[in-house]
Amino acid sequence: MAEASQLATSLRRGTLEFCVLAMVETEDRYGNELVRRLGEEPGVAVGEGTIYPLLSRLRRSGWLESKWVESPSGPPRRYYGLTPGGRSALDHFRTEWVQFRQTVDRLVGTGEAA
């Protein structure tokens, strides 16, 4: 069990941030929305709260930008959007990921042919 969650953690590291970038690719989303959507996916986030430090880092590295917007129902929401730098990082990841996935599939025998 510990090993299974260790594997999930390792796989998540380095990929989750691009899932987040992709989620705000076409429209800005606020924290709760991002966190909720990720939480619905199996094996992505351990705790919803762990997404906020990730959003912070992506913002500090210039891939995301954020702004506080008044909400009609409740407190102000912090919306996140993709910066041009974030967009090119996402494009780069997509290229790399496809190659990487194909290689792993071939080596591990998880490809469609297998």
Partner 1 sequence: MKTRENDVVAEYLREVDQRLAGLPVLQRRELLNDLAAHIAAEQAERNLASEGEIIEVLERLGSPEVVAAAAHEENGTRFTPPPPAANRNKLWLIVGIVAAVVLVLVTCGFLAFAGADSSIEGPAQPAVTAPETLSPS
- Binding-site ranges for partner 1 (CB under 8 A): 30-32, 35, 39, 46-50, 52-57, 71, 73-78
29-30 and 64-69 beta bridge pairing: unpaired
CA atoms within 13 A on the CB side of 17: 20
Shortest Å, Cβ 56 to partner 1: 6
Shortest Å, Cβ 82 to partner 1: 19
Of 49 and 109, CB closest to partner 1: 49
Shortest Å, Cβ 51 to partner 1: 8
Of 60 and 112, CB closest to partner 1: 60
Of 23 and 52, CB closest to partner 1: 52
Phi, psi of 80, rounded to the nearest 5 degrees: -115, 140
Shortest Å, Cβ 109 to partner 1: 32
Of 5 and 88, CB closest to partner 1: 5
In which order are the strands placed within the sheet that holds 64-69? 29-30, 77-82, 64-69
